[in-house]
């Protein structure tokens, strides 16, 4: 059995089905994963890039993107060191309508026990468990 990282372009070719030759190769790889002949390791950056491309280039709505990537992350033969954080971030992205990178930051914060973030982005206020702090509110000592 082979165990290797997978790049975003392979995941996107599989999901988009284009271009056909690359999509066929990606489909064969994912069939090997399903058969137990391969294990794919997925980095957070791969999921972030996939969210971006599926949302912007392929014009998929947040619910569709989150559903597809959740299904990918939980299948047998897919290793994601931050799986729980990624799944939480996909939920924030879908339900709270924040961009995925900020959703990922918030999910990582909560996983680490930190609930406050210095940011100019007001959408952090829409994320449960997150306290938005204004950078100018801190007084240097």
User: Tokens in use for 10?
Assistant: 């392979």
The per-residue pLDDT for 47 is 98
Tens-level pLDDT at each residue, the chain (141 residues)? 999 999 999 999 999 999 999 999 999 999 999 999 999 999 999 999 999 999 999 999 999 999 999 999 999 999 999 999 999 999 999 999 999 999 999 999 999 999 999 999 999 999 999 999 999 988 776
The per-residue pLDDT for 120 is 96
Q: What is the pTM of this model?
A: 0.92
**Pair 128, 135: CB distance under 8 Å:** no
The per-residue pLDDT for 141 is 65
What CATH code would you report for 2-137? 3.40.50
Beta strands in 65-136 (DSSP E): 78-79, 116-118, 131-133
The per-residue pLDDT for 138 is 83
Q: Is residue 101 exposed (0-12), middle (13-18) or buried (19+ Cβ within 10 Å)?
A: middle
The per-residue pLDDT for 21 is 97
């Amino acid at each position: 059995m082979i165990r290797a990282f997978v790049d975003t372009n392979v995941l996107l070719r599989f999901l988009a089905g284009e271009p056909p030759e690359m999509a066929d190769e990606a489909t064969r790889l994912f069939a090997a994963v399903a058969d137990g002949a391969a294990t794919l390791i997925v980095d957070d950056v791969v999921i972030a890039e996939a969210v971006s491309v599926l949302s912007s280039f392929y014009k998929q709505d947040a619910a569709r993107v989150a559903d597809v990537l959740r299904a990918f992350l939980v299948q047998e033969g897919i290793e994601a060191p931050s799986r729980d954080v990624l799944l939480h971030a996909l939920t924030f992205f879908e339900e709270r309508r924040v961009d995925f990178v900020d959703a990922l930051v918030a999910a990582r914060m909560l996983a680490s026990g930190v609930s406050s973030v210095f940011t100019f982005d007001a959408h952090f206020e829409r994320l449960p468990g997150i306290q938005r702090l204004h950078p100018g509110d801190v007084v240097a000592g």
